[in-house]
A and B are shown apart, each in its own frame.
Chain A
Amino acid sequence: MNILLAILVLGSIAAIFGALLGYASVRFKVDADPIVEQLDDLLPQTQCGQCGYPGCKPYAQAVADGEAINKCAPGGEDTIKKIADLMGVEVQPLDESHVQGDTTASNRPKVAFIIEEDCIGCTKCIQACPVDAIIGAAKQMHTIIIDECTGCDLCVAPCPVDCIEMRELPDTIHNWQWDLTSIPVKQLD
């Protein structure tokens, strides 16, 4: 008899708590992982795929699942810093294998440049550009809108006559930065 009572009591406690949790899971339902949306907003939306993922949204998902935060080349240091703030992790330098162009060269932002006398007007680079920073039409010479170009590199490969190259932006008062890390700081341990 006592055993039956014990089973009944424990069973009813469990049933009440189960109902409570069931209600709570409906009441406090989280639609999607909101962190992915927030990360996606931080990424530059070039969909360039340099991070190794098919676009910005998949990379945002991957970062939310624990992928390294330093793979977005078009976003650069700025984006990495924002992602680090959001995710609560340390800021890391841009991953070496994702630095644009020659890794030995400086890390200054680059934009695509079309050598216009070689351009045959094939429009292949226009189709490749994720941010519509190339203007031109078939059989017409193309050119880059420097302000729109994110330096994602995607137009270089499709060009059949190799007339696109990545050039460093010249220093202007808008993009010049102090090279504050030029004195190497070594942590002793």
Chain B
Amino acid sequence: MTDYLLLLVGTVLVNNFVLVQFLGLCPFMGVSSRTETAIGMSFATIFVMTLASLLSYLVTTYLLVPLDLEYLTTMSFILVIAVVVQFTEMVVHKTSASLYRLLGIFLPLITTNCAVLGVALLNLRQQHSFFESIIYGFGASLGFSLVLIMFSAMREKLANADVPAPFKGTAIAMITAGLMSLAFLGFTGLVKI
């Protein structure tokens, strides 16, 4: 149990996918200009990443490894992710039309969010078990959401701030992201083993 908890905290804070491993930067910059959109995106990503890491574990363990086809991992993971994203898009479209509109192009673009493929491949490389894979995927997406929502809240404040003209817009957002990344480095000493 402690292992799972450690893995979760470690993935959310210490090895944060966005700010420490620099994965999934495109939606991090693209969807973070409004908190409402960021929250919607976070839920979609949590759903997709958890499900994708679960499914990719099943595909590797029960299909690719027994048949000695490990070289197909990347290809089959992409297939899995694309399907999960498509499925999520349909569900969101059905359940919440306004969220569907707000997310717009970024919803199908979760497919190309490298954090999703990254979590599946890292699961494989670190030889996680079934539950560890799910927790790793969930933790990674939770960390992504945490950072995305915090960042979007900051950007909403920044929109009204007195920023020097050359730094307006994306430039100041990049600087803010860099500072956040530095802050998250501080979590490295959180767990002592």
Contacts and interface: CB of A to CB of B under 8 A. Distances in A.
A20 B59 CA distance: 16
B63 A5 contact: no
A176 interface: no
A35 B97 contact: yes
Contact of B83 (A10, A17, A30, A34): A17
Interface residues of B, number: 24
A13 B101 contact: no
Interface in A143-171: none
Contact of B72 (A9, A86, A88, A188): A9
Interface string A71-112: 000000000000000111000000000000000000000000
Given A10-B72, A35-B101, A28 B91 contact: yes
Contact of B69 (A9, A29, A87): A9
Interface string B101-131: 1100000000000000000000000000000
Given A6-B69, A88-B101, A30 B94 contact: yes
B78 to A, nearest CB: 11
A33 B102 CA distance: 14
A13 B90 contact: no
Interface string B23-38: 0000000000000100
A182 interface: no
Contacts of B97: 30, 33-35
B98 A35 contact: yes
A17 B86 CA distance: 10
Given A10-B72, A24-B90, A17 B98 contact: no
B79 interface: yes
A88 B102 contact: yes
Interface string A4-42: 011001100110010011001100111001110000000
B33 to A, nearest CB: 12
A35 B100 CA distance: 10
Contacts of B67: 5, 9
Contact of B79 (A10, A87, A188): A10
Interface of A: 2, 5-6, 9-10, 13-14, 17, 20-21, 24-25, 28-30, 33-35, 86-88, 188-189
6 contacts: A2-B69, A5-B69, A20-B83, A21-B86, A35-B98, A86-B98
